[in-house]
Amino acid sequence: MEDMIIIRPPVEANSLLVGVTEGCWWNQCRFCGVYINQLTGEIIQKYRIRPIERVFKELEILKQRYGDFISTLFMAGGEALSAPTDHLLKILHKINELFPHLKRISCYAKNLDILRKSDEELRQLHEAGLTICYMGLESGSRRILKMMKKGTTPENMIKAGKKLMKAGIQLSVYIILGLGGVEYSEEHAIETANVLNQMNPTIFRFRTLNIMPTSELWKDIQEGKFEIVSPYGILKEQLTIFKHLNDSVTSYVFNDHVSNYDSFEAKLPDEREFIIRYLEARLRDPATKRLRHKGLLHM
């Protein structure tokens, strides 16, 4: 079924959403059962690059509906940057033709898709209007990336992030708090901070691990192989990350996902100590230990 699933970052809630790809070509991350039921093998949405004629038609319909009252547009699909560069350039040119006043054009970008593009291709995409890409770092721990079948390494994450920013495209990376479970909670936090120190993304964002019942991770939890980190432990992971960041990190930080147990934003390094003091105070508060999981089974 076409156009069945569209996922976008919280910051793109008010953006125009235009599907560029569907499904996921990787489909192996053990915490994600969005496009395939990992327990049964049932495909929920097949991966494909959407026909450019259909994308153009949708853009024209959206132009008729919204006119020039659009400031941001998200090229949807979990693997939008996996599309050939020529395909993406044609779409970007059409977007700019129909919506000349856009302030931001964005998409998701898997690190492996970034690495497959040449420096010149990424530069062309930036010049055609691609403003920012959202990349799932998830964790800086080699062990956890392997355990979760991300199919990459911390070195590749750093390389892809720097390559994207070198082309002029802003980089926003996602960190999944709790992804190492209780066993590797501290490693997850420390190694994630180490990657951020080397990558220095434009932005990094936190979200808390949700467990989809269609994921392999769900099975691990049922079998007692993975222990979910408590809300208190999630806040402690955040504190550990901030404590291990150095002053070379000049990123903006957003704790803006509905799954999180706090909401804040900061500019580093200036506000790092303030965030550390704030999280320390939260952890000293007895009420924090009584927090319960929220939205555990939802994206």
* pLDDT value at residue 279: 97
Q: Which phi and psi angles does 43 have, rounded to 5°? A: -80, 125
Predicted local confidence at residue 294, as pLDDT: 73
Residue 136 token pair:
């799932």
pLDDT, tens digit, for every residue of 238-250? 999 999 999 999 9
Angle subtended at Cα 88 by Cα 173 and Cα 86, rounded to the nearest 5 degrees: 130
Note the pLDDT tens digit of each residue in 201-237.
999 999 999 988 999 999 999 999 999 999 999 999 9
What is d(CA 47, CA 56) in angstroms, rounded to the nearest whole number?
Answer: 19
Look at the alpha carbons of 115, 121, 127, 130 in this order and tell me if their dihedral is positive or negative.
negative
Instruction: Tell me if the domain spanning 10-290 has CATH number 3.40.50.1110.
Output: no
Segment 59-80, tens digit of pLDDT = 999 999 998 888 999 999 988 9
For residue 56, pLDDT over 50 is answered with yes
Phi, psi of 188 (to 5 degrees): -55, -45
**Partners of 138 in the β-ladder:** 175
**Mean pLDDT of the 99-117 span:** 97
Q: What confidence tier does 258 reach under pLDDT thresholds 50, 70, 90?
A: confident
Cα–Cα dist 39/220, whole Å: 11
Each residue's pLDDT tens digit, 166-187: 999 999 999 999 999 999 999 9
Q: What gap in Å lies between CA 101 and CA 176, rounded to an integer?
A: 34
Where does residue 32 rank: exposed (0-12), middle (13-18), buried (19+ CB within 10 A)?
buried
Distance (Å, whole) CA 238 – CA 189: 7
User: What's the CA gap between 133 and 148, in Å, rounded?
Assistant: 22
47 and 24 in contact (C-beta within 8 Å)? yes
pLDDT for 295: 66
pLDDT at 257 over 90: no
Q: Report the pLDDT value the prediction gives residue 1, as an integer from 0 to 100.
A: 36
